[in-house]
Chains A and B, each alone.
Chain A
Amino acid sequence: MYDTTRSEADVSQQDIKISARNVQVYYGDKHAIKDVNVEILDKTVTAFIGPSGCGKSTFLRCINRMNDTIDIARIEGEIRLDGEDVYDRRVDPVQLRAKVGMVFQKPNPFPKSIYDNVAYGPRIHGLARNKADLDGIVEKALRGAALWNEVKDRLQEPGTGLSGGQQQRLCIARAVATAPEVLLMDEPCSALDPIATGQVEELIDQLREQFSVVIVTHSMQQAARVSQKTAFFHLGNLVEYGDTNDIFTKPRDSRTEAYISGRIG
């Protein structure tokens, strides 16, 4: 759908983390994703933008096989993580999701203490050898999510007692603590106020140093602020993919231009 020559030139400079080839998704009879090809780079923030119902979230959830839980969803094509097809029959989705973490639209801390929220992933995946190890992971993750100073004195209080922005950062810390290689974020700021949004965006920029971040967002300003690469989805198609600057300043597809100038969406 998009001009591959330009993106391939970019790709050559950095590692490809995820590559999708001819991905089709069907929900029952509905063809939700139509032949998407994309390459997502390591240590980069990639934004998926587009009007609602365009398939960006659906595609995001394909990457760590969250769609497996939906009975009527059917996926064709291949998505490779470091060259391995995540839909290979031998792949255990549990192991995949440990590598490809996810942050959701609505903050969803577990009804446990802050500490237990962050320690949840390391515990189930056995990342800590002992209690001190685990404490270290929790602290690092909370520091990484810029939450440590706010919660360090009340780690045993329930995570649900935090403010919305803090809850979302707690969820990010929870995902980071599992030491993922890719972090998927599905409109992580849509339930937050502007100040909290700013904090999360800053955080996303820092996370880029450790791993690849894919963020679905409704807000073009946000995409412009946080991402280096942007993919524009429309009606299940990946219309255009390229450097964020290029997409917002000189879009090549008329639909992209219509969207960023506010005519569709």
Chain B
Amino acid sequence: MSAAAETPVLRIGLVGSPNAGKTTLFNALTGLRARIGNYPGVTVERREGALQLGDRSLRVIDLPGTYSLDAIAEDERVVTRVLDGDFEDAPDALVLVADACSLPRSLLLIAQVLRRQQPCCLALTMIDELEARHGHLDVARLEAALGIPVIPVIGHRGRGLDRLRRQLEHPEEWSRPPVQPPESAPERAAWADSILAHTLQRPPDPHRASEVLDRILLHPVLGSVIFAAVMVTFFQLIFAWAAPAMEALSGAAATLAQAIHTNLAPGLWADFLADGLVAGVGSVLVFVPQIALLFGLLYLLEDLGYMARAAFVVDRLLGRIGLEGRSFVALLSSYACAVPGIMATRGIPSPRDRLVTILVAPLMTCSARLPVYILLVSAFVPDEPVLGPLRLQGLVMLGLYLLGATSALAVAALLTRTLLPGEGLPFTMELPSYRVPTLKLWASQVWGSLSAFLRRAGTIILAVSIVLWFLLAFPRTPPEPDWTPAENSAFALENSYAGRLGHAIEPAIAPLGFDWKIGVGLIASLAAREVIVSTLAQIYAASGESGELGDALRGDIDPRTGDRVFTPATVASLLVFFVFALQCASTLAVMRRETNSWRWPAFAFGYLLALAYTASFATYRLVLAFGGAT
């Protein structure tokens, strides 16, 4: 037996305030082998990495950043609970991480941690920046004053890491503070000031670049213009840049499915492989470009230091509906797709604000609604000029986008005032100095988020796609040789479980002006909204091209009444239904992953369905009442 197996694994917790360089140090110590999970019962992400030092095995736990051990937010509470040994045994030793340039602030947290009398050492980051800003800190004196080992490190350059590693091998030998720091905040501040008085011989100059950049980026007029420009570019990039890659991926999935159908004998196995498995995997992979791009840009703006400024600029607007500046990016991203939008809520520290943002994100008009809107608007709304260059079709599209956005804001305002009143978490946000991020840190953050999506949400999306395939493909009906393939597939679909479900729910959706065919489309669109287009195409035995399908929809006559199925009232009602309803398995899966429970996806699905039903019913009745029956 090796020595490593005999000595127990040493568990080291990294404690520090946000922006102290904790994540960079964590990556430098553990490489890119972090295990990302969740703390039981809470939504906070848990990051752990392994480290082998000689014959000692270590596990490094990257605790959430916090300004105080007197926790007010969920992720801060996790820090105290880990230190208390609430989830598993308390860490054997703690590495305090503090930025040398902001010691006056960090010492307030250090004092709280030292009072716990757990073995501690201090990793002092950004000492190079302190020197560049002409500050001078006497590390030996700081070590003597605190009574614990102090190791200057520069995480991304690897400087000081060897010394830190050597210290980590023997935490039992670390010196302990001779006297405990005081407890009350004013006394802690006085304690910190007295330590600073004889260790920080020269405080760093202000960060010049940050001063200059803030004068521009936070300027009352220029700052707002730049904010708008950054957000428009951000949105444009995740919307437009991701599109070719997404189309290529879904194209590849379609080609592969086609190849399976051509090369395998027709039957259940080929259908499952092509339409179930390949289509299902494709529906997961199709999100990858967008999520990678979103997180790439998000972490870039975050690491540069702009994200906090953006939240600062826009905070007041969101404050009116009970949210805060950091919700903005998530809501904006949801215009492309609610899946990355919901994942972007991780930057919001208040659990209440984060939850409300997650719950209203599906109301932002995502790109999956676009094919549905285009189909219905181009087939049923006349393309006539309204005012100058404005045409009716464009105005209707704009109206649908606005309806989604205003509803999201209204629901958020309602939720923060009624169901989820605030715990009074104060809005406190630090503006960090601007920094040029390192490629390594950035890449590891993007990869971490992407792999978490694939593992946690991807599996659920895949499972749901396969279940829906089953409902649409069973029971099997033998093809009639006299019919065209299109007629055969239309017949098979009507007699499938999904087809029967469509008939079964017809009484429930009839008040909205929907018949069973729309019902099947709605069921199929639970996988993803745009699926209703291909499902309707299948039912009408038409090609998926919107023009041809549009003609088929316009010409559909109800055999019982002799009236058209798609009356203006029905079309308006269906459009409104798509504005509100949460028909998207991927969004539900990501909500489940981000809130760590099925409760909130169920709530979101329920309230959005109720909203969709009510609004569609009202729209249908109103249009009928104002003579739109024909």
Partners in one complex: no
Chain B positions near chain A (C-beta within 8 angstroms): none
Chain A positions near chain B (C-beta within 8 angstroms): none
